[in-house]
Amino acid sequence: LDYQHVQVPFEITLWIMLASLAKIGFHLYNKLPSVVPESCLLIFVGLIMGGIIYGLNDKSPPVMDSDIFFLYLLPPIVLDAGYFMPSRPFFENIGTILLYAVVGTIWNVFGIGFSLYGICQVKAFHLQDVSLLHNLLFGSLIAAVDPVAVLAVFEEIHVNEKLHILVFGESLLNDAVTVVLYKLFRSFCEMPAIKSVDVFAGVGQFFVVGLGGVLVGLIFGMTAAFTTRFTKDIRVIEPLFVFLYSYLSYLTAEMFHLSGIMAIIACSMGMKRYVEANISLKSHTTVKYFMKMWSSVSDTLIFIFLGVSTIGENHEWNWPYICFTVIFCLVWRALGVLVLTFFVNRFHVNTITSKDQFIIAYGGLRGAICFSLVFLLPDFRRKKLFIAATTVVILFTVFVQGMTIRPLVDLLAVKRKRESAPTVGEQIHIRFLDHLLAGIEDISGHWGQYYWKDKLEYFNSKYLQKILLREYDQPKSSIVLLYEKLERKHAIELAEAGQLGHAPSHPSLLSSGFLCSDNDRTVITDKKLEDTVNPDVLENIQEILARNLYRIRRTGPAYSRHTLPGETEPGEHPKEILILRHKSL
């Protein structure tokens, strides 16, 4: 037995396997996931496992490594979130989201930090050695709303799209603020004296970190789109580039101390549209599937590790500090949302209702980001107290808030997500209104949202598409594209229905006969109408069948490294069928 040799990959594989099996387990019993969010169940599994490890070894189980979290577990989730981000609601509400993410987070950090410092002054609590800076540092890490936790809960409660994007967008974009404040306070803690210059430099850093991240992301995104122009001959490695470039953008941003989350979101949102047009349909299925798979596994691992890391002797318990942390987190967030929404509502027609405000405030879940940041703190006397407080806040938000938010949404009758997407008619009207508003804004000289959107679209079709797309024709209307996609799906479904139904080969055979060039379809149809049991027709059908089966004869069975069996150029075979058919007539 040579365990040492294979230890690293073996243990990683086993952890992933455990996570996946746990996921399967929950879904086997159908009622469980509808009551308790999956994140709670996973933390619970982690707690049990941590308890077992603690019991067996009699020492604290291993704590989730911050590096592993930030370098390997977080990027897949953010990539998935960015790639599948509904871009229209996101950009429509970008102002509100930024306000919550930047001003709201700063408000929370200072609010929590200063009020905890006030608590520390009470002599009875024995906390006088916790300085203001340490409290602010703690505030900066505990204020960060966690995208992973938010996603895990909000996906299951199906609130309306605007509410969803407000909470989710905030949790993604507050990364830049959190990173800056956390690093600022950490360096202040180590400085002998703080000059006002440092404070101003800190303010400047916000913009550098946030916008720098976006810039890095966009550069990598465009490079990725450009690269996929040239992958026509080796379809097999196409999906790779989507992952490689977005991961590189994250790592590069992290390397320069910029916001990696912003970078990967900008990268994935930027490249999506071009990559989709360049790569094959199967590659795209693979990209989408793998993103979901990867983020799902990461997410599962994070919550299990959270549970495991909770058990152990890292904690210093202090009732007042921990209780007040939970209370302040709730209170300051609620106040922040109220105040900010008041300003937002003054400038918008489509206001945020008080029910929505409640859900936004209540949905501010904390998760693995806080947890990793608190372990990254430099060693000082009260670190264990901070760890304990962070753990309690996370467990409180995920368990109490996460489990009660669904009943609350039901109780308050919060506006739900539309069950159906807009109809084609609606879509046309929306498009029409967009153009109209862009025109109005242009005339009135107001550089608003629609004006910029129009300009960007112009820039895109004038320059970007020509550089980044392989086959650049006149761009098809998205409605035409949608219809085409629909037809493809429809065709598959009907082919499948043909086989599911009665008499599998007969109707579907005829339908593939029907589905062809116009003239020849008529011929066969005529025959069909003429007489359905005529042996002559049957012979004809057999002929069609033999000709339709031409595809089998062409599929080479042997192994090849670079192609999948049956992978051929799209649009070539149908032409061939047409030619064959014309010959036979």
Query: Is there a contact between 212 and 258 (Cβ–Cβ < 8 Å)?
Result: yes
Could you tell me which of 213, 208, 217, 206 has the C-alpha nearest to residue 181? Answer: 206
- 505 in contact with a copy of itself (CB under 8 A): yes
Enter the DSSP assignment of 362: H
- 580 in contact with a copy of itself (CB under 8 A): no
| Residue 98, both tokens | 């930024």
Buried-state track 93-121, b at ≥16 Cβ within 10 A, e below 16: beebbbbbbbebbbbbbbbbbebbbebbe
Q: Which stretch binds a copy of itself (CB under 8 A): 110-118, 268-276, 386-394, 571-579?
A: 571-579
416 beta partners: 159
Q: What are phi and psi of 159, to 5 degrees?
A: -75, 175
Q: In the window 292-311, what residues touch a copy of itself (CB under 8 A)?
A: 292-293, 295-297, 299
Cα separation, 21 vs 559, whole angstroms: 32
Residue 486 or 538 having the CB closest to a copy of itself: 486
- 456 in contact with a copy of itself (CB under 8 A): no
Cα separation, 243 vs 91, whole angstroms: 24
Q: How many CB atoms lie within 10 A of CB 270?
A: 24
What mask of x and - would describe binding to a copy of itself in positions 201 to 240, judged by CB under 8 A? --------------------------x--xx-xx-xx-xx
Cα separation, 78 vs 23, whole angstroms: 20
Q: Which stretch binds a copy of itself (CB under 8 A): 55-63, 111-119, 190-198, 486-494?
A: 486-494
- 356 in contact with a copy of itself (CB under 8 A): no
Q: Which stretch binds a copy of itself (CB under 8 A): 99-107, 244-252, 333-341, 458-466?
A: 244-252
Q: In the window 57-116, what residues touch a copy of itself (CB under 8 A)?
A: 67, 71-72, 80-81, 84-86
Q: CB of 152: closest distance to a copy of itself in angstroms? A: 7
AA letter at 435: H
Angle at 393 between CA 17 and CA 23, to 5 degrees: 20
- 251 in contact with a copy of itself (CB under 8 A): yes
Query: Is there a contact between 271 and 59 (Cβ–Cβ < 8 Å)?
Result: no
Q: How many CB atoms lie within 10 A of CB 189?
A: 16
What mask of x and - would describe binding to a copy of itself in positions 167 to 186, judged by CB under 8 A? -x------------------
- 507 in contact with a copy of itself (CB under 8 A): yes
Residue 381 or 554 having the CB closest to a copy of itself: 554
Residue 190 or 419 having the CB closest to a copy of itself: 419
Q: Which stretch binds a copy of itself (CB under 8 A): 124-132, 303-311, 381-389, 501-509?
A: 501-509
- 496 in contact with a copy of itself (CB under 8 A): yes
Q: CB of 408: closest distance to a copy of itself in angstroms? A: 20
Residue 185 or 241 having the CB closest to a copy of itself: 241
Could you tell me which of 210, 214, 238 has the C-alpha nearest to residue 224? Answer: 238
Q: Which stretch binds a copy of itself (CB under 8 A): 188-196, 249-257, 269-277, 392-400?
A: 249-257
